[in-house]
Amino acid sequence: MRVPDQSGRVVLVTGANTGIGRETALALACAGATVLVGARDAAKGDAAVAGLRSASDNADVHRVALDLAAFASIRAAAARILGEWRRLDILVNNAGLVLSERRTTADGFEMTFGVNHLGHFLLTTLLLDRIRASAPARIVNVSSFGHITAPRGLDFEDLQSERSYSSMQVYGHSKLANLLFTRELASRLRGTGVSAFAVHPGFVRSDFGSSDDLRGLPRLGMLLSRAFMQSAARGAGASIRAATATGLEARSGAYIARGALGNFGPPRETPTSPAARDDAAAARLWQVSEQLVAGAGVSARVPRTPGRQQL
């Protein structure tokens, strides 16, 4: 995929030390961008930075310590970015996980929802003024075809999965949250020059769901299907297109994937489930997320604009 010249632009990719995050960061670094690698593990992050610099012949690649399961780490990462870089043109909220057993973040939230949605919500809102000041700019949220496993929408009475926990169901709800977040972002940012997109990378051979994160039948299913998965480089195509393709701005709020399953054809605008097009749920999720991160000392107030583009 040809990437337009990104010289002079600053990009943050979360979870950029491996998988589709690394491939997204590599493509943008090769196109001349300053690339910030958001990584929780210092050793892995530093190794990724060294590899990206070498592979792209671009020395302007930097690790930013970022643990999306800890508000303190998110605040520190945002403070460093705001202090060291005068602009932020592209934010790719890529990091994500799926867990067999219920765990909690440092701030007491269910881990899958906390990392996949809430951590990225906090990071985005902390950086939003800088992103708007850098317009034209883009925000890309990595979602998943898995959002269809939540056909009834989010359970706002049990967002923390305290009543029941099923790994793939909880994951699907977090991916639906990514889509609703994107929809509300697009609405609130209309007219600012900042576009927001959600993407599905497809089924990708990567570290996702590896180690002790996923066990039992879901883990077995993932292992058995690896032969049919695409490479991380191909999987990154949807993120790269959403972040850089010219003329896409008018479709802010769109969901980009290689077809419904994410593995066939070029990355293109793709329909979501009806639950992901629920404007009331999108607005409510934003409000609830504001309340949940209130203890982090951040204002997530982004004025809503009248009317809404139908997607």
Please give the pLDDT value at position 2.
85
Sheet strands (E) in 146-222: 194-200
Could you tell me the mean pLDDT of each successive run of 10 residues in the chain, 311 residues long?
94 97 98 98 98 98 98 98 98 96 97 98 98 98 94 96 95 97 98 97 64 52 51 93 96 91 83 97 98 71 50 46
Count of Cβ atoms closer than 10 Å to residue 169 Cβ: 16
b/e string for 27-56 if b means 16 or more Cβ within 10 A? bbbbbbbbbbbbbbeeeebeebbeebbeeb
Instruction: Measure the CA–CA gap between 232 and 243, rounded to whole angstroms.
Output: 17
What is the pLDDT, as a whole number, of residue 301? 56
Alpha carbon separation from 239 to 147, 177, 266 (Å, rounded): 17, 17, 12
Please give the pLDDT value at position 310: 39
Q: What is the pLDDT of residue 214?
A: 54
Q: Which positions are catalytic?
A: 171
Question: What's the rounded Cα separation, in Å, for the pair 130 and 295?
Answer: 22
What whole-number distance in Å separates Cα of residue 208 and Cα of residue 126? 27
Using the CB atoms, write b or e for 222-240: b if 16+ within 10 Å.
beeeeeebbebbbbbbbbb
Say if CB 18 and CB 206 are below 8 A apart: yes
In order of 147, 163, 289, the CA distances from 109 in angstroms are 20, 14, 11
Return the pLDDT at 303. Answer: 56
Q: Yes or no: say if 255 and 270 are a contact pair by the CB < 8 Å rule.
A: yes
Which residues, at least 6 apart from 223, have a Cβ–Cβ distance to it below 8 Å? none
Distance separating alpha carbons of residues 104 and 42, to the nearest angstrom:
22
Nearest CA-CA partner of 115 in 136, 142, 134, 138 = 142
Q: Tell me the domains of the chain and their CATH numbers.
A: 10-296 (3.40.50.720)
User: CB within 8 A of 96, min separation 6: which ones?
Assistant: 15, 115, 116, 142, 174, 208
Q: Convert the pLDDT of each residue in 213-268 to its tens digit.
A: 655 545 444 444 445 557 899 999 999 999 999 999 999 999 999 877 767 788 99
Q: How far is CA 217 from CA 168, 220, 221, 222, in A?
A: 11, 5, 6, 9
